[in-house]
Amino acid sequence: MLIANRNRALRLLLAGALMLIAGSALAFSSGPPDGYTNAPDENNCTACHSGTLNSGAGMLALDGLPEVYSPGETYDLTVTLSDPAAMRWGFELTVLDGTFTGTAGMITATDAGTQTSVDGDRTYLKHRSSGTAPGTLVSKSWPFQWTAPDEGTGEIVLFVAGNAANNNGSTSGDEIYASFFGSMEDSGVPVFDTPLAMTLHGAAPNPFNPITNIRFDLPRSSHVRVTVLTMDGRRVNTLADRAFGEGSHAVRWQGQDHTGRTMGSGTYLYVIEADGERQMGSMTLLK
């Protein structure tokens, strides 16, 4: 694992160096390098294109992924990138197991404008040149298939990054987006036999400045850890790591890291862990 992560980091550094050397020549219209989905230990399109992540007026959406998947079943999914000012489009995605160590299941390209690639233990789906759809306004969609992993994999997370480009032939003026979507494994236990689980209500307000509250309910007394991460998986702060009683709770984040330094505007992840269960969401700090 350490060797694989180190090799991936070296590849990302090399790709970044090539971008600096080649400048606007590397717009990656034929498909981005592997490792640019904004998953933990990965980069995103801002490594090459100017702009701030998730600062545009558009969004990334995913259709077809169930909240609970059945092991071995194949699902027809569609990722859609939208932005009112864009005229060319690109994306890259991967599906990881809940520990973010490797690809969960199998990704199959079903559209002529997409392709798959493999880097170590991760499989990627990304655009081809024909899939960038120059001149297409407002949004672009790419369908594909995902075959769920074997029984026992547990939670999976799909990470995706997209470039809503202005089609000016350079890497300037584009809007870069990234998001993630999760699904839990169907345990096969009837609903009436399923133990009560933690309920996550999300962060409120969201967007926020400078304080938000992450709210959740516990069915029983539990040890809970609440962590804030950057979108690339780096820890910002641990907000709680202690016992909580049964009932409703709120943990406050004041937009600071573990040293008390105020964080900049952007989208952050929060992860809540209790009794072996993990749930996560995103929140946006606006200044």
C-alpha distances in Å from residue 212, one per residue of 12, 169, 228: 33, 40, 12
pTM greater than the 0.85 cutoff: no
CA distance 79 to 161: 10
Q: Do both 175 and 222 map to the same domain?
A: no
Q: Do both 199 and 277 map to the same domain?
A: yes
pLDDT tens per residue across span 127-180: 999 999 999 999 999 999 999 999 999 889 899 999 999 988 888 889 999 888
In a domain, 132, yes or no: yes
Which tokens go with 226?
A: 């609440």
Q: Do both 205 and 139 map to the same domain?
A: no
* Omega prior to 84 cis, within 30 of 0: no
Q: Do both 131 and 255 map to the same domain?
A: no
Q: Do both 243 and 144 map to the same domain?
A: no
Looking at the 3D structure of the chain, how many domains does it have? Answer: 2
What CATH number is given to the structural domain containing 129? Answer: 2.60.40.680
User: Is the Cβ–Cβ distance between 24 and 55 less than 8 Å?
Assistant: no
Domain residue limits at 276? 195-285
Give the domain-ending residue among 166, 185, 204: 185
Q: Give the per-residue pLDDT at 203.
A: 93
In a domain, 140, yes or no: yes
In a domain, 7, yes or no: no
CA distance 212 to 254: 7
User: Is the Cβ–Cβ distance between 8 and 41 less than 8 Å?
Assistant: yes
Q: Do both 96 and 141 map to the same domain?
A: yes
Q: Give the per-residue pLDDT at 28.
A: 63
- Please identify every stretch of the chain with a pLDDT value under 50, giving residue numbers as ranges: 1-6, 9-10, 12-27, 191-194
What's the angle, vertex CA 129, arms to CA 124 and CA 133, rounded to 5? 105
